[in-house]
């Protein structure tokens, strides 16, 4: 099987590079940056990509590859830190930049004959994220593109098929980045483009069976896209070795518990254990207002309930989770990765250790849209596969302040209106996410001839490709008006509706 190998030097964008390669219908493998060249050679890569990273190549403890990778004969593409590594290993020079480059830049291609830039405009926008710069080219290399602050924005040694980019072609803020990577994969590396999601399934099934063997596996099933697709994939690989445990934490959307039991227990015939622990979760959350404490309490309580439920399974050795790549990135502490920790995530970290189970995460290298493709390929119904994302801690992170039964009822009813109207209008499946948030703000209103003093609902409607960035959606005024009127008229305890028009970044998609 043709494949590209990515050496990971700690960039938060490594999996984004992998995703772009998969979009070229070429398989790729990600390996640690210090993987021995002999081990990489056994993978028979058609090309190597050196990822970005947070370090400086001249720093004493900078992550460095096995020098033997440069003698394997496979084409090499260095991205940002990867470009600087090429220079460092091949006797170029990298120094702290006099002007740092972060954010948008203007790329000008100086040599359109460079195969990386076939079909790419002479000038285009790129995305930079670096403080160091290449100040002396290695022997045999030449500059083929520049930016305002970098005369070596793209370099090549065409004879050795070695290329370097100072910018990030993998992110959406580099519009021509996909073409650049496709040129490397197809034009320079000679890959065909026959890999599909079906190939991913075959590989994932083999990997799951190899990892699990004859042992039992348990999965916490929420009914959301991620856990549903993970359940379907694991069931395909393991059959009756899999047991799904559905914990009703009392923080679910309207009619969620009934739907999950119907679809998975009765329709798909997956062994399903149902645990109603809603009262316990609400008791633990009483008086808690800090969002991180909420998440930790929910995570800890979930583990406790989950542990009790495993007694019905026997002696499982593995815990499966529907963790996606954005979940991992937003949950990694700064000390271990350049991706600053944005939020805790009760599906990441801690759970396997406390439960003494080995972890299976078959979706951890995928983004949400890829998981949807996988779900359709596995035969899941479109209505389930294209459900909008829902946070693991549930409605608790959409209630600012204390979580109570009465506030949950208000938010659950308001959220139902939003979902119903978005589906009725046809907007639900066009965008990434739409939901209601209950604010700890009460204001004066008038209903009939009476004065009210009730809560405020904020509408959050965003579009995104992968959840890493998002922009607010400009819904028709008529739809916003309908949702606002229905929420105020039908949801007792609400007299005001607002619209959140902030993007991510600087805001997050969820409010907590």
Residue 99 burial by Cβ neighbours in a 10 Å radius (0-12, 13-18, 19+): exposed
Q: Could you tell me the CA-to-CA distances from 203 to 47, 196, 217, 324 in Å, in that order?
A: 20, 11, 19, 17
User: Could you tell me which residues are beta bridge partners of residue 109?
Assistant: 145
Q: Are 361 and 371 in contact (CB under 8 A)?
A: no
Q: Which of the following is catalytic: 28, 80, 114, 189? A: 80
Q: Which of the following is catalytic: 2, 101, 170, 330? A: 170
Q: Which of the following is catalytic: 33, 130, 156, 168? A: 168
Known catalytic residue at 170: yes
Query: Rounded to whole angstroms, how far apart are CA atoms 271 and 345?
Result: 26
Query: Rounded to whole angstroms, how far apart are CA atoms 4 and 43?
Result: 9
Known catalytic residue at 215: no
Reading the block at residue 79, the tokens are 């991205």
Known catalytic residue at 191: no
Expressed in angstroms, the distance from the first to the final Cα of the chain is: 43
Q: Are 432 and 470 in contact (CB under 8 A)?
A: yes
Where are the extended beta strands (E) located within 90-229?
A: 93-109, 123-136, 142-147, 150-157, 162-165, 217-220
Query: Rounded to whole angstroms, how far apart are CA atoms 164 and 430?
Result: 37
Single out the residue of 369, 366, 259 nearest to residue 321, CA to CA.
366
205's enclosing H/E stretch is helix 197-212
Catalytic residues: 80, 168, 170
């Amino acid at each position: 099987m043709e494949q590209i190998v990515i050496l990971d030097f700690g960039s938060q964008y490594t999996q984004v590079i992998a995703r772009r390669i998969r979009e070229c219908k070429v398989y790729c493998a990600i390996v640690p940056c210090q993987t021995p060249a002999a081990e990489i050679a056994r993978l028979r890569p058609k090309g190597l990509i050196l990822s970005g990273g947070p370090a400086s190549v001249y720093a004493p403890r900078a992550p460095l590859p096995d020098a033997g990778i440069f003698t394997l004969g496979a084409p090499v593409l260095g991205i940002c830190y990867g470009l600087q590594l090429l220079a460092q290993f091949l006797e170029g020079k990298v120094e702290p930049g006099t002007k740092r480059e972060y954010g948008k830049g203007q790329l000008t291609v100086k040599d359109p004959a460079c195969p990386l830039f076939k079909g790419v405009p002479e000038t285009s926008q790129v995305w930079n994220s670096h403080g160091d710069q290449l100040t002396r080219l290695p022997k045999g290399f030449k500059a083929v593109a520049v930016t305002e602050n970098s005369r070596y924005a793209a370099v090549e040694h065409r004879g050795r098929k070695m290329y370097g980019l100072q910018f990030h072609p993998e992110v959406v803020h580099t519009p021509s980045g996909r073409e650049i990577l496709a040129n490397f994969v197809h034009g320079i590396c000679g890959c065909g483009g026959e890999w599909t999601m079906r190939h991913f399934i075959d590989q994932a099934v083999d990997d799951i069976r190899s990892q699990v063997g004859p042992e039992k596996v348990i999965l916490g099933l929420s009914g959301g896209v991620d856990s549903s697709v993970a359940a379907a994939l694991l069931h395909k690989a393991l059959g009756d070795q899999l047991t799904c445990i559905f914990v009703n934490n009392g923080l679910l959307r309207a009619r969620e518990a009934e739907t999950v039991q119907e679809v998975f227990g009765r329709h798909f015939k997956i062994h399903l254990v149902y645990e109603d622990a809603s009262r316990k979760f609400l008791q633990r959350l009483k008086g808690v207002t800090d969002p991180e404490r909420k998440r930790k309490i929910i995570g800890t309580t979930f583990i406790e309930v989950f542990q009790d439920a495993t007694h019905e399974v026997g002696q499982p050795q593995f815990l499966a989770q529907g963790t996606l790549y954005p979940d991992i990135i937003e949950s990694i502490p700064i000390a271990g990765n350049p991706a600053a920790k944005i939020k805790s995530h009760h599906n990441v970290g801690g759970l396997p250790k406390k439960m003494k189970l080995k972890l299976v995460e078959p979706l951890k290298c995928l983004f949400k849209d890829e998981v949807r493709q996988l779900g359709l390929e596995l035969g899941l119904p479109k209505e389930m596969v294209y459900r909008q994302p829902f946070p693991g801690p549930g409605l608790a992170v959409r209630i600012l302040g204390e979580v109570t039964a009465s506030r949950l009822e208000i938010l659950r009813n308001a959220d139902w209106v939003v979902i119903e109207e978005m589906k009725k209008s046809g907007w639900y499946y066009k965008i990434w996410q739409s939901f209601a948030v209950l604010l700890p703000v009460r204001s004066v209103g008038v209903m009939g001839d009476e004065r009210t003093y009730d809560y405020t609902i904020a509408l959050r409607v965003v579009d995104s490709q992968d959840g890493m960035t998002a922009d607010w959606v400009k819904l028709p005024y008529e739809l916003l008006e309908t949702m606002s009127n229905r929420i105020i008229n039908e949801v007792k305890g609400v007299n005001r509706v607002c619209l959140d028009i902030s993007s991510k970044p600087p805001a997050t998609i969820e409010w907590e």
